Structure 1
Amino acid sequence: MGDTIRTEQLTKDFGSVVALDRLDVAIGEGVTGLVGANGAGKSTLIKILLGLLAPTSGGATVLGHDIATEGAAIRGLVGYMPEHDCLPSDVSASDFVVHLAQMSGLPRHAARERTADVLRHVGLGEERYRPMGGYSTGMKQRAKLAQALVHDPRLVLLDEPTNGLDPAAREEMLHLIQRIGADFGIAALVTSHLLGELERVSDHVVVLDGGRLLRASATTDFLHTTGTLLVEVIGDHGAQDLMGNALAAAGLPCRPRGHVIAVEATASSAEQDVHDLIRDTACALGVGLVRIQVDHRRIEDVFREGEEHVIHA
């Protein structure tokens, strides 16, 4: 299976700002997270891939089609969920999604069947005949997701799909995105500035910074262990300081990190030996030990390192 998206030296210069700077990236099947701070170039990339913006230079293909000459073919194969609210307030979700399904080429009867199915899938089955102006933000986001899926696309582009959602609605949306890739086999490119979300739902991650590619790899490659153990004890900062000082005196480099102690395992120590030393130290001090947890490197660490590199370059 080839790449769903490939860019080559893709550049978009607005004059006052370079939104994309010679971007070379290949995106495959599954769910890919496109991460970066606001202004990193995420939405610009999506609009160029859809043919809504012309690049300044460079090129790209989507599902094997050239963005410069085959925009209509791309839009027929791709579903798009825009970031901003674009729903007509006096139209029901059912009528809206049926209309867009027909615009995508489905006959009216098939459009109605597909609309009923996809609205049930996103959790709007019982609300589908209500005008969307009365919807909550979470319901509006699900309606936008439904219209992106109704014509059974091979790829969906989801621009900030959890934007404005409360924690419960965010969890529901993330679950739906996981199902798109895992249960329905539709490739998805999901943008977000909330890094932790993408770790949870993405098979691959592309990190942009100032329109440049910082890194692209499988999500698991980001989340490797760091050689650091996180130790939490019962009590206030006094108990934490007592434990940290004792571990340092025992030869384990450590430092406070919020309400936990980050302990660096030495290269000469086996992991179990370090666990035993932490346990024995807590017992000797009479300090209650809540947990010893392996620290994992996160996407945020990669992004932070990239920012530091730019600052010091």
Structure 2
Amino acid sequence: MTVITIERLTKRFPTVTALDQLTVTIGAGVTGLVGANGAGKSTLIKILLGLLPATEGSASVLGLDVVEEAWQIRGRVGYMPEHDCLPPDVSATEFVVHMARMSGLPPDAARERTADTLRHVGLYEERYRAIGGYSTGMRQRVKLAQALVHDPQLVFLDEPTNGLDPAGRDEMLGLIRRIGAEFGISVLVTSHLLGELERIADQVVIIDAGRLLRASTTADFTRTTQVMSVEVTDLPDANGRDRLGAALTSAGLTVWPEGQLLQVNIVDEGTFDVVRDTTADLGLGLVRMQQGRHRMDEVFRDEEEGVTRVG
């Protein structure tokens, strides 16, 4: 099911082009929108919400035109902005109830939904404290709660892990994954950190300077490579990796060291047997023999190097 359609979308400001002929279709599930700071991610979300007019092109969200039907879109989606916008002198409950009422929920339903949503994001015990006394992680959870309280079909999450420590990032990513997997809400989440979205996204859209670099499922981005990583013990001597490399080279394989690992080009299925048997013949202990996977950051590296990676 398609939730967002973008066709030749362009946004020009006086000194910069934020989006440049962007065309992409986004399906249901969790979609990561990846790009460096200034790549056009926040601009795109504001256009999709009908908060910012495009210079050229068109877009639709949940089948609704972003220009003609912006009000209907905002009633069906949730939005977690990147920047802190929370009033410090009210409680999380007061704020989220207010946002629920703004979305059209009646008073009783707004309070019930607020309690459920704050429990979901892990703030139930702290729900009556003033937001001004919250940590950064708690404030991010309040922003997530207000985006979810009216039970939207789609949520836009703009840099939701900003300012969080590693533990806080992991918890936020877990919440985002649950939104898609358990509650059936589609998610468009932006980040400049590829590794985060690789963990939670079903599909990834990568943009740079407002241009589309690639859109694909995460599985396609991280498909297996034709290289395996091999790690052996240092016993009986400290040169096990180098001895194994020399023996595999003599067997006709292409190998190269990378830190403590030995990288081996996979010719066919028999390569695994050759590595295993050669390691045993040398009396080395095999710690790891693992086929590698592509990483999403290769898209950026290939772009910088002028290389087009096919497939």
TM range, normalised to the smaller chain? over 0.9
- 1:305 is aligned, of 283, 302, 310, to 302
Partner of 1:259: 260
Amino acid in the other structure paired with 1:256:
P
Superposed, 1:238-249 pairs within 5 Å as: 238-249=239-250
Structure 1 288/176 Cα, relative in aligned 2: closer, same or farther at 3 Å? same
- Using the TM superposition, give the Cα deviation of residue 279 of structure 1 relative to its aligned residue in structure 2, in angstroms: 2.3
| Matched ranges for 1:5-24 at <5 A | 5-24=4-23
Q: Residue 58 in 1 paired to residue 57 in 2?
A: yes
Q: CA RMSD in A?
A: 1.8
Q: TM-score, normalised by structure 2?
A: 0.93
SS in 1 for 2:104: coil
Deviations 1:278-311 (A, max 9, x none): 2233234343321000111121222322332289
The 3-state SS of whatever aligns with 1:90 is coil
Quick one: distance in 1 between partners of 2:9 and 2:307? 20
The change in CA–CA distance for 1:234 and 1:61 in structure 2 (over 3 A counts) is same
Amino acid of the structure 1 residue aligned with 2:259? G
Higher mean C-alpha deviation, range 285-294 or range 130-139: 285-294
C-alpha separation in 1, matches of 2:209 and 2:244: 42
Residue 90 of structure 2: aligned partner = 91
For 2:118, give the aligned amino acid: L
After superposition, give the CA deviation of every residue in 1:113-135 in whole Å (9 maximum; x if it has no partner).
00000000011010111111221
How big is the shift at 1:246?
2.9
Helix, strand or coil: the match of 2:306?
Answer: helix
**Displacement of 1:149:** 0.1
Bigger drift between 285-294 and 144-153 goes to 285-294
In the aligned structure 1, how far is the partner of 2:238 from the partner of 2:64? 59
Query: In structure 2, the residue corresponding to 1:244 is in which secondary structure?
Result: helix
Greater CA drift, 197-206 or 122-131: 197-206
Once the two structures are superposed, the pairs formed by residues 1-313 of structure 1 within 5 Å of their partners are 1=1, 3-235=2-234, 238-266=239-267, 269=268, 271=269, 273-309=270-306
TM-score by length of 1: 0.92
SS at match of 1:98: helix
Looking at structure 2, the residues matched to 73 and 101 of structure 1 have their Cα atoms a distance apart, in angstroms, of 16
* More off after superposition, 51-60 vs 297-306: 297-306
Change (3 A) 1:92 1:310: farther
CA shift for structure 1 position 238:
4.5
> Structure 1 residue 237: deviation in Å?
8.2
Is the alpha carbon distance of 1:310 and 1:212 closer, same or farther for their aligned partners in structure 2, counting shifts above 3 Å? farther
Q: Distance in 1 between matches of 2:293 and 2:204?
A: 16
* Counterparts of 1:261 and 1:144, CA distance in 2: 46
- What secondary structure, in the 3-state scheme, does the structure 1 residue paired with 2:125 have? coil
Paired with 1:76 and 1:258, the residues of 2 have a C-alpha distance of 53
The whole-number CA distance in structure 2 between the counterparts of 1:260 and 1:39 is: 37
Whole-Å Cα distance in 2 between the matches of residues 123 and 279 of structure 1?
A: 48
Letter in 1 for 2:152: P
Could you tell me how far apart the structure 1 residues matched to 2:135 and 2:259 are?
Answer: 36
Aligned amino acid, residue 240 of structure 1: R
Bigger drift between 104-113 and 12-21 goes to 12-21
Post-superposition shift, 1:221? 1.5
Shift of 1:13: 1.2
Q: Secondary structure at the match of 2:86?
A: coil
Aligned-residue sequence identity (percent) comes to 65
Cα gap change, 1:156 to 1:239, in 2 (>3 Å): same
The DSSP-based 3-state class of the residue aligned with 1:25 is strand
- Structure 1 position 16, deviation (Å): 2.0
Mapped to 1, the partners of 2:307 and 2:225 lie a distance apart of 23
